[in-house]
Amino acid sequence: MNAMHRTAQSLQDRARIAVVIPCFRVKAHIGEVIAGLGQEVDAIYVIDDACPEQTGAWVRAHLHDARLRVIEHDHNLGVGGAVMTGYRAALAEGFDIVVKIDGDGQMDPADLPRLVRPIVLGQADYCKGNRFFHPEDLSGMPLIRLLGNGALSLLSKLSTGYWQIFDPTNGYTAIHRLVVYRLPLQKISKRYFFETDMLFRLGLMNAKVTDIPMKSRYGNETSQLNALAVIPEFFFKHLRNFTKRVIYQYYLRDMSIASMQLPLGLAAMLSGAGFGLIKWRDAAQLHLESSAGTVMLAALPIIMGFQLLMSFLSFDISQQPQQALWPHLDAHDAQPPNRTA
């Protein structure tokens, strides 16, 4: 018995695992993805999100795997909406861990045992892939996607509070059912912001999230997400989530020194910058040089404000969840989500 087989058997003994595959224009790759899923997987939910290629019908006609369940949407709900459909179906059947994998073949099904292992062992609530962990693996990633994902990762750290997490748009994820039960599924973004919005909601729960290093495979598939193109849209959504997170974590749920550092830091920087701009304008109009005292009066609040903001960020980084929630949740109180998508 090889190591991979022993791992798969161990996982199968410990937890029942379901895989959700949202499908939109992936008919050319879906067969290979399903064939790569090992015996540790108990059910495979193929969610045809009103796919123009009728991927769901193709799977029914050509693939004969007892684990397959095909669900077809009447209209397109987006990747998040498709995953929520899969989550609800998997929970209704009582599976312990739900894995989401894309149907375009970029994610290696052989990585699934490593992805779910921290959850099985009670060390995490949610695991996600990270394609950036090993620098040598980045050679196969298109440069524009590399730059776009780097920018999105920085915004994600701010809005979700998961500073140790990178590659937020990576859709290779696993989650424990007791955590899904407590997520407000109806509020999570249904489109491409889904993965990041999940992290935001998990952060409000103090769920333990773990990055799992893995490689991506780039072939002739067409990505539905242009990372650089969505940065403006994502920026405002990140700003919204950051504001909500700060208000909830630092003013409604708890108060700390960071609750004072953030507003004082922002006020100091803005006042110093405003004073400096006004004095610079006045000096320019009179063709005079600003005095050293005027420069210092503008610079000191900016410096102090910057230090306060850095202290806030340092405190925020230190607040990473260290313990998984699901082993301490009461399974008897959990009810399958019946909220509409």
Residues 164-211 pLDDT 10s: 998 888 899 999 999 999 999 999 999 889 999 999 999 999 999 999
Q: Which two tokens stand for residue 280?
A: 């610079």
- pLDDT range class, residue 339, cuts 50, 70, 90: very low
Render 95-133 in DSSP notation, one character per residue: -SEEEE--SSS-B-GGGHHHHHHHHHTTS-SEEEEETTS
Between 315 and 144, the more confident residue is 315
Lowest mean per-residue pLDDT among 32-46, 137-151, 319-333: 137-151
| Element holding 321 (H helix, E strand) | none
Residue 213 sits at φ, ψ, to 5 deg, of -60, 135
Q: Which two tokens stand for residue 264?
A: 């004082």
- pLDDT range class, residue 131, cuts 50, 70, 90: confident
Burial class of residue 14 (count of CB atoms within 10 Å of its CB; 0-12, 13-18, 19+): middle
| Element holding 210 (H helix, E strand) | strand 209-213
Residue pair 259/250 in contact (Cβ under 8 Å)? The answer is yes
Q: What is the pLDDT of residues 79-122, one digit of tens each?
A: 999 999 999 999 999 999 999 999 999 899 999 999 999 999 99
Closest CA to 156 of 183, 187, 105, 192: 192
Q: Which two tokens stand for residue 122?
A: 């009670």
- The pLDDT, as a whole number, for residue 181 is 93
Distances (CA, A) of 336 to 143, 282, 332: 42, 65, 11
Q: How many CA atoms lie within 13 A of 65 on its CB side?
A: 21
pTM for this predicted structure: 0.86
- Read off the amino acid at residue 185: L
Residue with tokens 């298109």: 142
Task: Identify the CATH homologous superfamily for domain 3-250+323-333.
Answer: Spore Coat Polysaccharide Biosynthesis Protein SpsA; Chain A (3.90.550.10)
What is the spatial distance between Cα 157 and Cα 319, in angstroms, rounded to a whole number?
A: 12
